[in-house]
Amino acid sequence: MELATTEIQDILSQLGIKTINNGASTGSKWLNTKGEEIHSFSPVDGNKIASVKSATESDYETVVLKAQEAFQTWRTWPAPKRGEVIRQLAEKIREYKEPLGKLVSYEMGKSLQEGLGEVQEMIDICDFAVGLSRQLYGLTMHSERPGHRMYEQYHPLGIVGIISAFNFPVAVWNWNTALAWVCGDVCVWKPSEKTPITALACQFITKQVFEANEVPEGVSGLVIGGAEIGKLMANDPRIPLVSATGSTRMGKSVGAAVGQRLGRSLLELGGNNAIIITSSADLTVVVPGAVFGAVGTAGQRCTSTRRLIIHESLYETVKEVLGKAYRQLKIGNPLDQNNHVGPLIDKDAVTNYLHAIEQAKKEGGKIVVEGGVLSGEGYESGCYVKPCIIEAENHFAIVQHETFAPILYLMKYSGDVHQAIALQNGVPQGLSSAIMTNSLKESEAFLSNAGSDCGIANVNIGTSGAEIGGAFGGEKETGGGRESGSDSWKIYMRRQTNTINYSDSLPLAQGIKFDL
């Protein structure tokens, strides 16, 4: 196993990872994959972390068949017993929080604080799932027929296919698996080929807990590969639910394929998130919310703040204050906690960042804080860029498009809050939104059914930083899916209505007579 640095060797050693070779697993058993090698390069320093042989179609078939077999047993385990396994998984993740958080930071490029925060999300969703294991409630209904009782119950679906993105390489997987496993489903995971090593780490951690509890082999499947694996999953009728996180383009492809076979898809796609800053907004709240929302994870969150819609009375003030805040940002190695902004995931992302800035200029945008690629000592990977602020109009083509980079567009409104809401809603995406205001009327207008059209709408906090307890997801080109808290668990189950006749006759519904 060729590793980049002594530090990464120490991280993997702390995680108990001694060898990295193959990219497919049925749980505790690793397949002898013979696909092309996937090389994981850290955007932090440009060094290769390790290489993994990707899964082939034959490997995929092996993992799915084992998952089908495991489901026959796993679904019969009482839900609280499944919950106990997830409780132990949460404890194991707690043990590995620091090295796993460091690995997330090094392989993906987000700050160490955010890497540790992502691992905490894994712990939180496991804790949520443990409680859920005793709360998979259905309803009871009164029958119109005498001597009859009606109720509904939920049953596991089967195999849940998970396609995750690079920006949250561990949390999104666990958002799905923790709930799916408690519901009695089994999972097959295709992680991003840009972050395969964190996926292997998750499999190693899960393996320890599942083996100790004699969980059936196949409940936690892994297939590392490119788009071809995702296509197999999307077109596979043996997988009733495919949960896919990524670009809108990818989501449309997955949704079409799954819909063609009448399967279910849970899509978490792009965001083009805005914060409305009204004339009554408190700038002490605005600045941290806007800056973190725009530059956190180097603008590579689906909930990153892309647009600020500012009332004309505060526009110049906000522009000046943000400019000062941006000039204080420290950009560098994300494992150094003194830095605020780490690198983009790779050089393709840098290219997209530069193209977006140029396109904004061509459409009439005015630079407020200059962007650009950083070079020199500490920036050898070529993936570090400067967070950029551009004055723009909402109708610009590039503003309507989500760019996964730290570019923030400023725009002005002069009317009432409804004008600002129209601008906020005037993009194809509908994930997260926020309003900064001290007016009850403005906040309620924003939250009303004529307000924000996003799946997430916040008052006096930014667009990013969703909590586990609420359902996460968005509308329009964001895909309509919901993950994490609330009653998101229902997507992982099939609903069944039951009617029991305990009388001595068979009356029909709606008073129908059918005498023989």
Catalytic residues: 268, 302
Q: How many CB atoms lie within 10 A of CB 324?
A: 10
Beta bridge partners of 38: 52
Task: Return the bridge partners of 498, or none.
Answer: 151
Tokens of 188: 């097959």
Task: Say how many CA atoms lie within 13 Å of 151 toward its Cβ.
Answer: 8
E strand spans, 214-263 = 220-223, 241-245
Contact 442, 417 (CB under 8 A): yes
Strands 148-156 and 305-311: unpaired
Output the six-digit token pair for 161: 């296919």
Helical H runs in 184-247? 196-212, 227-234
DSSP characters over 345-408:
SSHHHHHHHHHHHHHHHHTT-EEEE---B--STT-TTS--B--EEEE--TT-HHHHS--SSSEE
Q: Which of 190, 251, 226 is nearest to 25 (CA)?
A: 190
List residues bridging with 364 in a β-sheet: none
Q: Which residue has the tokens 């995929």?
A: 60
**Residue that has been written with the tokens 């590995």 in this structure:** 96
Task: Compute φ and ψ for 243, nearest 5 degrees.
Answer: -100, 115
Nearest one of 394, 460, 463 to 431, comparing CA atoms: 463
Alpha carbon distance 484, 266 (integer Å): 12
Helices 79-95 & 112-132 angle (0-180, nearest 10): 160
The residue to which tokens 């259905």 are assigned? 138
Give the gyration radius of the chain's Cα atoms. Answer: 24
The string over 252-273, giving b where at least 16 C-beta atoms fall within 10 Å of a residue's C-beta and e elsewhere, is: ebbbebbeeeebbbbbbbbbbb
